[in-house]
Structure 1
Amino acid sequence: MSLPKRFPLRVANGKTIEIPSVGYGTWASGENSWAKDAVAEALKAGYRHLDCAWMYGVDEPIGEAIKGSGVPREEIFITSKFWPHFGHPDNVELCLDKILKNMGLDYIDLYLAHWPCVWKPISREALQNAKSFHNATSKDRGIAGGEDDPPQIDWEHTTSNLASRAGHKGSFVPTWKAMQQCVKTGKTKAVGVSNFSISDMEELLPHENDIPISCNQIEVHPWLPQNELVEFGKKHNIITTCYSPFAGQLPEGKSLLHDTKVVELAKKNDMDVGQLLGSWAVQRGTVPLGKSGTPSRIKSNLDVKKLSAEDMKVLDEMALPEEKGRTVNFVEAWGVPLHEG
């Protein structure tokens, strides 16, 4: 049985556009030639949704792949994101301009804040000249601070939730309004967020006006189902897109792709493991952003199919307690202590 090929995505003035229900992720694509070839293969296989970001450093090869694919631009849904040191309201549009120039595009479909915090850049000039190529240094990228030091947080423009937990006052609202302005200029059709908690999004909800929070992109897979965040999104008509839908591998070597239950369910349904996990995500009403460099897997990951209620339940009950909340406690991973309350 089939699953939806597209979901409605809210945009300005009460309208909606369609977002393909399965996307192709371009994170950690590494060298440019690899990214160009992989995206070209994805477009050839039928993908019409590319998930990108300035920080990934592969905008140019992705743009070349799009241009060489023969697929009309209007048929491809393109998401991109600004890294935190572009998060000051004065710099949000600058990052989008760099993305558009590097990809050779006039607009993107969805522009996201990559994280709910803002960092300090070296300077405006450094941002104008910033590069995000493979193995670029913090200085190359225009990020203030040394290579081995945590980034310098601009608490004033970080979400009030995170700022208060670190003993500061902050608000992401000015940055959000700058993002909304990018819709008004026509450089993006919609705006949203990534790695935002419920509290982070609640700060922005009163300021949606005619340009809503269209999307929250977070890590989601059976080990980390993010049920509360997903349900919050549904309640407020915010689409959840899911990075790392196959979970990768835990430090101790445990991998969801080789989990006994997952492998057995895939075999039972005559599916690849990635195809199974993508099907689970779409059936939940979310959008998986899988990635592979293998042509056969690129193709099969796109072919999602409806699972039985019994199989969905098995996957729904695989959450690991130790994984809960990991993706929203990201600031601590960058050396910035937070406290509860």
Structure 2
Amino acid sequence: MSLPNAFPIRVADGKTIQMPSLGYGTWASGDTSWAKDATVTALKAGYRHLDCAWFYGVDEVIGQAIRESGVPREQIFVTSKFWPNFGHPENVELCLDKILKGMGLDYLDQYLAHWPCVIQPVSRQALEQANTSPETSPEQRGILLKDGKPVIDWQHSTSNLAAQQNQKGTFVPTWRAMQETVRKGKTRTVGVSNFSISELEELLPHEADIPISCNQIEVHPWLPQNPLIDFGKKHGILTTCYSPFAGQKADGATLLKDPQVNELAEKNGMDVGQLLQSWAVQRGTVPLGKSATPARIRSNLEVRRLGDGDVKVLDGLGLRGDEGRTVDNGPEWGVPFFRN
């Protein structure tokens, strides 16, 4: 039995559309030189789902890759996200407009809130002029700093984050501004990223006719996120998984070199990337693997069903709490985003 090549996600008015079950991640980590050629390779290899974000700084080259690939736009599921300095309700659409202009697209398939907090911008004008080239400072990206750290807008951050600072806040006005972008036809769906169960619960009563399509979180066998994924399934929220291959832990360990993972990959005649992507899809989630190597880009697409025993071994690698979180993910300003 083969694995599904797409999963349904909820859109406006009780309808669903299909999201390809494998996404190609475009996080650039400061260096964007690889992004265009690698994305062209991914699209020609068969990827039909691109995961992007304004903060990645790759909008222009990803747009070029889409056009150079020869794949019709309507066959590609394009996701992007707004960084928290665009999180005030008045600025949500501005970031989407910047993304669409940068990529040369008329619409997104999915628009996500990148984090459950909101950062105060320098000004509206600063946001309009903000760019994400590698050499730009936080201020040039429109981020207001105090003592070298972003200034959090607790009023518009999720209620649980605000409460930790003895503040009152809610993400609902920002969510409603996101819903409005669907009504205007600028994106087909809206969702969130890095939201906990309590943060999803804050938005659920406000879905109205436009639901939470997905929650994008870090997921891999070291960090299986079972309660959060199960909560999403219960409420029709698809989980997409960044860092499906994990990164490097504080002690230098990597999932790609884990002896049990490599043993299972060899047993199944796969490379490690195929194994981890197969595990993710088999769980009913969408992995967003990234590679700039053509051979690995192609092999990461070749997922297939694993035996129940092999799935249990991978499930058993999970650690509790943040112990499984890898050191190359997450913002740098110290807000404790991850709570279940």
Bin for the TM-score computed over the shorter chain: over 0.9
TM-score normalised over the length of structure 1: 0.95
Counterparts in 2 of 1:18-97, with a 5 A limit?
18-28=18-28, 30-97=30-97
Tell me the distance in 2 between the aligned counterparts of 1:322 and 1:143: 30
- 1:161 Cα deviation after fit: 1.1
Q: Percent identity?
A: 69
Name the SS for the 1:137 alignment partner: coil
Q: Which residue of 2 aligns with 1:7?
A: 7
The whole-number CA distance in structure 1 between the counterparts of 2:331 and 2:3 is 38
Q: Distance in 1 between matches of 2:9 and 2:234?
A: 14
Q: Deviations over 1:246-274 (max 9, x none)?
A: 00111211000000000000000000101
Deviation at 1:93, TM superposition (A): 0.2
The residue correspondences of 1:218-257 to structure 2 (distance < 5 A) are: 218-257=217-256
The yes-or-no answer on 1:137 pairing with 2:125 is: no
Amino acid at match of 1:151: P
SS in 2 for 1:33: coil
User: How far apart are 1:194 and its partner, in Å?
Assistant: 0.2
**Aligned twin of 2:152:** 153
Structure 1: how far apart are the matches of 2:211 and 2:322? 30
Corresponding residue for residue 310 of structure 2 = 311
Counterpart residue number, 1:117: 117
Cα deviations across residues 150-190 of structure 1 (Å, max 9, x unaligned)?
21000000000111112100000000000000000000000
Count of matched residue positions in the alignment of Structure 1 and Structure 2? 336
Q: Tell me if structure 1 keeps the 8 A contact 2:222–2:325.
A: no
Aligned to 1:196: 195
What secondary structure does 1:241 align onto? strand
1:149 Cα deviation (Å)?
1.8
* Contact map agreement 2:249 2:325 (CA 8 A) in 1: no
Amino acid paired to 1:116: P
- Structure 1 distance, partners of 2:71, 2:29, is 21
CA distance in 1, matches of 2:18, 2:35: 25
What SS does structure 2 have at the residue aligned with 1:132?
A: coil
Cα contact 1:29–1:35 (8 A) shared by 2: no
Which secondary structure state, in structure 1, belongs to the residue aligned with residue 149 of structure 2?
A: coil
Structure 1 residues 325 and 171, CA, compared in 2 at 3 Å: closer, same or farther?
farther
Structure 2 Cα separation of the partners of residues 87 and 65 of structure 1:
28
> What's the CA shift for 1:45?
0.7
RMSD: 1.8
For 2:17 and 2:217, the matched residues in 1 are separated by 21
Name the structure 2 match of 1:106.
Answer: 106
- State the distance in 1 between where 2:193 and 2:324 align: 14
Are the aligned partners of 1:216 and 1:240 in contact in 2 as well (CA < 8 Å)?
Answer: yes
What SS does the corresponding residue of 2:217 show, helix, strand or coil?
strand
- Look up the equivalent residue of 1:277 and give its one-letter code: L
Indicate the residue corresponding to 1:320 in structure 2: 319
How far residue 19 of structure 1 moved from its aligned partner, in angstroms, is 0.2
SS where residue 64 of structure 1 aligns? Answer: helix
Extract unaligned runs of 5+ from structure 2. none
What is aligned with 2:273?
274
d(CA) in 2 for partners of 1:10 and 1:325? 30
Cα deviation, 1:195-248, whole Å, max 9, x if unaligned, reads 000000100000000000000000000000000000000000100000000001
**Greater shift after overlay, 23-32 or 114-123?**
23-32
Q: Secondary structure, in 3 states, of the residue corresponding to 1:266?
A: helix
Which stretches in structure 1 are left out of the alignment for 5+ residues?
Answer: none
Paired AA for residue 36 in structure 2: K
Letter in 2 for 1:186: G
